């Protein structure tokens, strides 16, 4: 117990362990974000997380729960809205993303008694991670990894060719909803780490880096996890030695890795 306490008692190790937990799920989920062109969707969910926090304070529920519920409601609202094709999806996402962010900020301003670290929410506060956060991250990771392993073939088939998947009896709509719920969950647990404005980067950059080297979807998901670990480890070291903010440092490391992999593998293009 004393070793565990010694490790978890140190803020640096807590940050590292928490970061690795997030990278473990952000890798494969990030691949789906890239494959299904859902980057802007991920951004919208992340922006709505701030609204979730404001609402959690308002009705006093745990922050993570409030964020998950808000993201889920928003994801379902998006699905319903996008059936009505009057507005293009990116327009709709733009409206909802920034409205959710703005409403969140306005709501927070109505609660002056709530002392809240806005910078931490927007850009992450990885070094302030506590044991409770670790519990959320690894709880979420177990659920998401189990779902991904269980649903992998169906998710992949419906990503490759939705109609073919439907003909083969894969419940495409239900899987899409489950994938959105998983995004909501990962955003809720990763928010503390890199903040709502940088979460999408953590999903996309390791996956895009992995694309350059991968031959199969599974290979790409595994590599995305590895590059996520590299980003977390590198970012935290950078933060430690250069005294830079931890969340942005993780994203900067991820970006640097991306550049190195693409430059060393030849051209900066999305081709094999």
Partner 1 sequence: MNETLVAIENLSVRFDGRTVVDRVNLALHRGDIITIIGPNGAGKTTLIKAILGIQAATSGRIMRAKGLVIGYVPQHLHLESTLPLSVKRFMQLSGQPLARCISALERTGVSHLLEASVHHLSGGEQQRLLLARALVRKPDLLVLDEPAQGVDINGQAALYDLIRQLRDELNCGVIMISHDLHLVMAATDKVICLNQHVCCSGYPADISHDPAFIETFGRPVAESLAVYHHHHNHSHDLHGNVVGSGPSRSVTGHDESHAERQEGCQHEHH
Q: Tell me the C-alpha distance between 128 and 79, whole Å.
A: 35
Closer Cβ to partner 1, 71 or 209, answer by number: 209
Kindly state whether residue 267 participates in binding partner 1, applying the rule CB under 8 A. no
| Stretch 93-152 residues interacting with partner 1 (CB under 8 A) | none
Q: Is 60 left (phi over 0), alpha (psi -120 to 50) or beta?
A: left
Contacts with partner 1 by CB under 8 A: the residue count is: 27
The residue among 32 and 136 lying less far from partner 1, judged by its C-beta, is 32
Q: Rounded distance, CA 224 to CA 164, Å?
A: 27
Contact between 174 and partner 1 (CB under 8 A)?
no
Kindly write down the DSSP assignment for every residue of 178-222, as one continuous string: HHHHHHHHHHHHHHHHH-TTTHHHHHHHHHHHHHTT-SSHHHHHH
Rule CB under 8 A: say whether 167 interacts with partner 1: yes
Phi, psi of 94, rounded to the nearest 5 degrees: -60, -45
Which of 29, 156, 189, 194 binds partner 1 (CB under 8 A)? It is: 156
Residue from the set 114, 168, 174, 260 that interacts with partner 1 by CB under 8 A:
168
160 binds partner 1 (CB under 8 A): yes
Q: Based on the shown chain and the rule CB under 8 A, indicate whether residue 215 belongs to the binding site for partner 1.
A: yes
Question: Judged by CB under 8 A, which stretch of 19-27, 28-36, 72-80, 104-112 contacts partner 1?
Answer: 28-36
Q: Does 59 bind partner 1 (CB under 8 A)?
A: no
Query: Distance between the two ends of the chain, CA-based, in angstroms?
Result: 48
- H helices of the chain, in order, are 2-8, 11-35, 39-59, 63-83, 89-109, 118-123, 131-160, 162-167, 172-194, 199-211, 217-242, 246-264
Per rule CB under 8 A, is residue 55 in the interface with partner 1?
A: no
Would you count residue 164 as binding partner 1 (CB under 8 A)? yes
Which residues in this chain contact partner 1 in the complex, by CB under 8 A? Answer: 34-37, 153, 156-157, 159-161, 163-164, 166-168, 208, 211, 214-220, 270-272
């Amino acid at each position: 117990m004393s070793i565990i306490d010694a490790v978890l008692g140190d803020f640096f190790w807590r940050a590292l362990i928490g970061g690795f937990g997030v990278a473990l799920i952000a890798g494969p989920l990030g691949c789906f974000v890239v494959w299904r062109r859902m980057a802007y969707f991920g951004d919208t969910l992340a922006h709505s997380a701030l609204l979730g926090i404001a609402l959690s304070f308002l009705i006093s529920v745990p922050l993570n729960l409030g964020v998950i519920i808000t993201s889920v409601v928003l994801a379902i609202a998006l699905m319903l809205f996008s059936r009505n094709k009057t507005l293009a999806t990116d327009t709709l996402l733009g409206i909802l993303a920034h409205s959710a962010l703005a409403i969140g900020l306005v709501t927070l301003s109505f609660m002056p008694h709530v002392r809240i670290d806005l910078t931490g929410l927007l850009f992450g506060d990885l070094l302030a991670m506590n044991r409770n956060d670790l519990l959320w991250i690894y709880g979420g990771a177990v659920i998401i990894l189990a779902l991904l392993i269980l649903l992998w073939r169906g998710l992949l088939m419906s990503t490759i060719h939705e109609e073919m998947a439907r003909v083969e009896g894969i419940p495409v709509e239900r899987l899409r909803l489950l994938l959105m719920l998983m995004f909501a969950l990962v955003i809720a647990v990763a928010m503390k780490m890199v903040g709502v404005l940088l979460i999408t980067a953590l999903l996309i950059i390791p996956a895009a880096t992995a694309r350059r080297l991968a031959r199969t979807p599974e290979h790409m998901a595994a590599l995305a996890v590895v590059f996520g670990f590299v980003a977390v480890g590198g970012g935290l070291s950078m933060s430690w030695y250069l005294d830079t903010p931890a969340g942005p440092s993780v994203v900067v490391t991820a970006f640097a890795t991306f550049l190195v992999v693409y430059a060393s593998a030849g051209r900066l293009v999305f081709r094999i």
